[in-house]
Amino acid sequence: MSAVDEKTMEKIVALCKRRGFVFPSSEIYGGLNSCWDYGPLGVELKRNVKEAWWRSMVTSRDDIVGLDASILMHPKVWETSGHVAGFSDPMVDCKKCKARFRADHLETARCPEKPSKKPGECAGELTEARQFNLMFKTQLGPVEDSGAVVFLRPETAQGIFVNFKSVVESSRVKPPFGVAQIGKSFRNEITPGNFTFRTREFEQMEMEFFVPPDEAGKWYDYWCETRRQWYLDLGLREENLRMRTHGDDELAHYSVGCADVEYLFPFGWSELEGVANRTDFDLKRHSEASGENLTFFDNETNTHFTPYVIEPAAGADRATLAFLVDSFEEEKLEKETRTVLHLHPRLAPIKAAILPLVKREEGMVKMGQELAKQLRDAGISAFYDEKSAIGRRYRRMDEAGTPYCFTIDSTSLEDGTVTVRDRDSMEQSRMSAQEVLPFLREKI
Ligand code: GAP
């Protein structure tokens, strides 16, 4: 068997729709630009991505705690953080077709009327670039005046900075320590696109790691390597992953060093996550603006200091898309081509399919249903399916990324064994039904 054809975004988008990973939002009304809904398989996949992140960043460590801050925050947070003044992209308009483009993305943009041309190369003239703030505004409460304006957060990070004091006082943490958070963020992107890669509503997985200033360099290196390794451990191919260090002209206003984890999507190398050295910028600014003391008091040295912050900031949607793209394969078999997602078993939405060979055979159905229940009771997502030919059932599970199928046949009724089929090699072997749960526990 061998891989066939090129991996394209069109194929990934079609599979996502067909198998219920991702649907266009509000599709019955024609959809809403750049908004997507995760379907039954997609929601499980994304939950597993977030769960793997939370486990590696919070529950498996003793130096990071979790937080879930609200999306709406005091407007002063965004003035102080620099987002009101500086969180903007340069934008140009086409005077002819009125389309808007990011002035710094013109090289890769296309004229909507003449897609073979770049903006400005068609008959349309472009306006001068002007700054466009990416934060969404809304009203808090029923009174529509300027005093009620609040923003939908454009990053989860600020929720962590403004809770620094409360976390330190309540949790007895001591630098170096981190606070992690997963949640929705919103940016009114000028040019969203590439499926779920750049959207206006998305989920971030961010962790702020507070360290003594003289240890910032060491921890920056540590988090660059640790975060790169996380993607590899969950199955992304090494040749499709790279670290790219930002040039000085690319650094955000708060950062003195930043490296991106990039993945080679069908549309080119693109950012999955940024690891930044944010210095003491945020804590100092919030301390000045709020009047609160946001330093850390070190009992041993009897001194106060403002910790530096190393921030690995990832996107749950981008990571999910990268795992989908990387695992997607069209494999040429002797008589057909099979589409398969080689997802890491920990990420797979369904871990095990239970397939009685003959639907009308009562013993097989009973044994299959009992096995599925046993797995579900143990917290392992099992899919029971007795309909259609076994080959077609295997193909459906390959497309869903299900790593193991367990088939119950007449031999099962005689000796209590089942056939286990491996998604990637398609090899089959027999095992006792009682071994299925420990087998899956070990694999997952
Ligand atoms: N707190 C730092 C921060 O927000 P960022 O590089 O702007 O840094 C972090 O965002 C991550 O959030 C990105 O690497 C990306 O994975 C995700 N992200 C940012 N904007 C996004 C968008 N419009 N759509 C989907 N994901 C996005």
How many A from CA of 186 to the centre of ligand 1? 10
User: Are the beta carbons of 243 and 224 closer than 8 angstroms?
Assistant: yes
- 402-430 pLDDT per residue, tens: 999 999 999 999 999 999 999 999 999 99
Q: Indicate the pTM of the whole model.
A: 0.94
How many A from CA of 66 to the centre of ligand 1? 19
Q: How far apart are CA 67 and CA 69, in angstroms?
A: 6
Is the distance from the beta carbon of residue 274 to the nearest atom of ligand 1 less than 6 Å? yes
Q: Please report the pLDDT score of residue 275 as a whole number.
A: 98
- Closest ligand 1 atom to Cα of 199: 24
How many A from CA of 181 to the centre of ligand 1? 14
Fold agreement (38-81+153-325, 350-443): no
The CATH architecture annotation of domain 350-443 reads 3-Layer(aba) Sandwich (3.40)
User: Hey, CA dihedral for 131, 132, 135, 139, is it positive or negative?
Assistant: positive
- Which residue's alpha carbon is at the smallest distance from atom 8 of ligand 1? 313
Q: Which two tokens stand for residue 384?
A: 């029971």
Mean pLDDT of 226-243: 98
Q: How far apart are CA 138 and CA 144, in angstroms?
A: 10
How many A from CA of 260 to the centre of ligand 1? 11
Is the distance from the beta carbon of residue 157 to the nearest atom of ligand 1 less than 6 Å? yes
Q: How far apart are CA 17 and CA 19, in angstroms?
A: 6
Mean pLDDT of 212-240: 98
User: Are the beta carbons of 353 and 397 closer than 8 angstroms?
Assistant: yes
Q: Shortest CA distance to 158 belongs to which of 286, 318, 314? A: 286
Residue 29: C-alpha distances to residues 24, 26, 33, 378 (Å): 10, 6, 12, 41
Q: Which amino acid is at 10?
A: E
Please, what is the end-to-end C-alpha distance for the chain in angstroms?
Answer: 26
- Which residue's alpha carbon is at the smallest distance from atom 24 of ligand 1? 198
Domain ranges of the chain: 38-81+153-325, 350-443
Percent of the residues in the chain that have a pLDDT greater than 70, as a whole number = 99
- 25-49 pLDDT per residue, tens: 999 999 999 999 999 999 999 999 9
Q: How far apart are CA 367 and CA 213, in angstroms?
A: 61
**What crossing angle do the helices spanning 390-400 and 9-19 adopt, rounded to 10°?**
120
User: Residues near 356 by Cβ (< 8 Å), separated by ≥ 6?
Assistant: 364, 365, 367, 368, 386, 407, 408
User: Residues near 269 by Cβ (< 8 Å), separated by ≥ 6?
Assistant: 242, 244, 262, 263
Percent of the residues in the chain that have a pLDDT greater than 90, as a whole number = 84
Beta bridge partners of 198: 193
Where does the pLDDT of residue 147 fall: very low under 50, low under 70, confident under 90, or very high at 90 and above?
A: confident
What is 38-81+153-325's CATH superfamily? Bira Bifunctional Protein; Domain 2 (3.30.930.10)
pLDDT higher than 90, residue 109: no
Pairing verdict, β 201-211 and 308-315: antiparallel
- Which residue's alpha carbon is at the smallest distance from atom 16 of ligand 1? 315
Q: How far apart are CA 364 and CA 380, in angstroms?
A: 21
Q: How far apart are CA 238 and CA 326, in angstroms?
A: 11
User: Residues near 389 by Cβ (< 8 Å), separated by ≥ 6?
Assistant: none
